[in-house]
Structure 1
Amino acid sequence: MTAMKDRRRAVVLVAAILGVALTGRLGWWQLDRAAEKRAIQSGLEAGEKAAALPASALLEAPMPVHRRVRLRGEWLADRTVLLDNRPMNGRAGFYAVTPLRLDGRQEIVLVQRGWVGFDAQQRNRAPMLATPAGVVELEGRVAVAPTRLYQLGEAGTGTIRQNLDPAAYARETGLPILPLAVLQTVGSNADDNLPRDWPTPDLGLSKHYGYAFQWFALAALILGLYVWFQLLRPRRQHHV
């Protein structure tokens, strides 16, 4: 009987140790993820304060994500894509993304130019979008791709679509599009007056801290239950 109790206690002890170790490790993993997001946030803030890079920086490695960049080139207006379901300031509409051929080069970069509303009478009709002709100059923030939303299935083709991947669009059009995007922040010398109140990237720091708290709380609960049921409670019953 004593041997059986000892084996049961050993099993409970091992289970408790594994439970505390696992939940504690998951908690630390969430804190590590939060630290990674903090580093990205610091990069965003530093990129906003740093001087704007020239367009040639887009051709270098590693890609200067989150950095300000100054571009000069010509719009390829007929290749404009409208990203659907993109509200701004409480109004529904599209994000306009137009390829820009860099001045003096063959390379093309996708520029998320600004927001445009949709036609309330014909929801799926692309709105008229004024695109300045000739050489324009503008500033923006480098991103991996135009702003993305969660989607089911393929992104589709056509002027209106849910998301736009630079590499996929390069294959689709045959154009030498760089594998990145620029979110325009400063209007060009021939501005189109599109709103550009881009939302601040939500890195989910609070989510990671919340998950970490939950895992650590679970680890503490497992430890507390073990101490109570295996150590404190038997002693109290023994004294009674």
Structure 2
Amino acid sequence: MKAFAVPAKPPSAAAIPTTATARELAGTYRLFAQLGWHDLIYNQITARVPGTEKFLINPFGLMYREVTASNLLKIDLHGHKVEPSPYSTNPAGFAVHTHTTAGQVVSCQRDGLLPLSFTSVFYTGRLAYHDFEGITLEREQSQRLAADLGRSNVMILRNHGLLVCGASIADAFADHYLLQRACEVQFAAQATGAALIQPSNDIATHAAEQFDLSARKGDQNRMLFDAMLRWTLELNPDFCR
């Protein structure tokens, strides 16, 4: 597999074959392992198979550093395997869900993510919340979570962790990176015990609009994701097999 180059014009999701989607998803698992965004064999990242109602997900029981393009599982909308595999699935798994320390710390705070930093203001007006109900295994609970998510792609699961969706793997990765970074900065800033400066809501909203406009120019999410995949390809090229 060649190193991921920065494309002049990224292809549409429908144009990407399943094998390419599997390689990108496997590479994303390795990236999360490299960045420390994993919880042993738990959590999950999923990707829709272009043009279908099927999804790819990690085999439950493997660590993120063990995931490859060939051992990913294909599941339907109900989380059932649609192809033979010796591995089982995590029935709670769709999208990107993590239990990072910083994400869980912020999820336990009554006010959630505060617009304290350059990164966190990006989520002004974009962040959804869902109250803790235990592990999401029941259909009714999933429906409540989806209702709380609404039109947002980023959510803090209270007392639990982070949840991110996206139109592409690249978009979901970029959003998780920024949300995780915002949580890390808030955690560190609060730990100093010093008085914190919080921008006004008008300034935070304006900054969020600037971020959104900038991110859409030249598809920066795709460029960021490709750069990160080149890094993991250099360190862990076996994810492509």
TM-score, scaled relative to structure 2: 0.25
Greater C-alpha Rg: 1
Tell me which protein shows more strand as a share of its residues. Answer: 1
TM-score, scaled relative to structure 1: 0.25
